[in-house]
Amino acid sequence: MEVSRTPSTMYLTQSKYIMDLLKKTNMIDAKPLSTPVSSGRRLSLYDGEPLSDGTTFRSIVGALQYLLFTRPDIAYAVNQVCQFMHSPTTAHWAAVKRILQYLKGIHDHALIYKPSNLHLTAFADADYAGDPDDRRSTGGHCIFVGDNLISWSSKKQRGVSRSSTEAEYRQLAYTSANLSWFRNLFRDLHLQLPPPFLW
């Protein structure tokens, strides 16, 4: 992780790590893409042909998981490919390559932290029955202190929701639990925060 700062701002990035990963996968000259996943397309266990050796797939997906420390923009895409570690196929490998192509175009982007108010704000969302194999929903959240992003997640929900409303409420409950944890952490640090906003 690389940290750079000015008197009022701190930048966190993993630019060198991304470039090393692109070299390792022979993707350094790949055409950059503007999104990490294809719009409207869901990966399935049955897409593509099985890879003869899934070792490289697992290694690269593991490296992408490490990138999530500074790249919340790929959280959903990495969550999707992580679900196929046990039996990856050519379609899953193509999805990994798309993430790498996306990273190629924005390898120097960074998380920015600057002085801000101490107010917790969270955003939560979930799809409905997004997985074509088990019909489970995927939910995500991001939590800010003032203008600074401090927590993010994209995760498949444990149960099958009967409606889009149920999927959304499950995600709101999960995000609320995370907000509560952060409020307790700040309370332990003797910082009294106003009630958080959850969107």
User: What's the number of domains the chain is made of?
Assistant: 2
Smallest Cα–Cα separation from 65: which of 54, 80, 84, 78?
78
Q: Is the pTM of this model over 0.85?
A: yes
Smallest Cα–Cα separation from 170: which of 130, 140, 133?
140
Residue that finishes a domain, picked among 105, 138, 170: 105
Q: Is 61 found in the same domain as 146? A: no
* Predicted pLDDT at 41: 79
Residue that finishes a domain, picked among 81, 105, 129: 105
CA distance 176 to 193: 15
| Domain contains 52 | yes
Q: Is 121 found in the same domain as 186? A: yes
Q: Is 144 helix (H, G, I), strand (E, B) or coil?
A: strand
pLDDT digits (tens, 9 = 90+) for 22-70: 999 999 999 999 999 988 778 999 999 999 999 999 999 999 999 999 9
Q: Is 83 found in the same domain as 134? A: no
Q: Is 54 found in the same domain as 80? A: yes
Q: Is 137 found in the same domain as 96? A: no
* Residue 21 burial class via C-beta count within 10 angstroms: exposed 0-12, middle 13-18, buried 19 and up: buried
* Predicted pLDDT at 20: 96
* Predicted pLDDT at 113: 97
pLDDT digits (tens, 9 = 90+) for 127-174: 999 999 999 999 999 999 999 999 999 999 999 999 999 999 999 999
Q: Is 128 found in the same domain as 81? A: no
CB 88 within 8 A of CB 57: yes
* Predicted pLDDT at 186: 95
For the segment 68-84, the average pLDDT, to the nearest whole number, is: 95
pLDDT digits (tens, 9 = 90+) for 80-127: 999 999 999 999 999 999 999 999 999 999 999 999 999 999 999 999
CATH number reported for the structural domain that contains residue 131 in this entry: 3.30.420.10
Domain residue limits at 158: 116-198
Q: Is 122 found in the same domain as 84? A: no
Only one residue has tokens 């940290």, namely 3
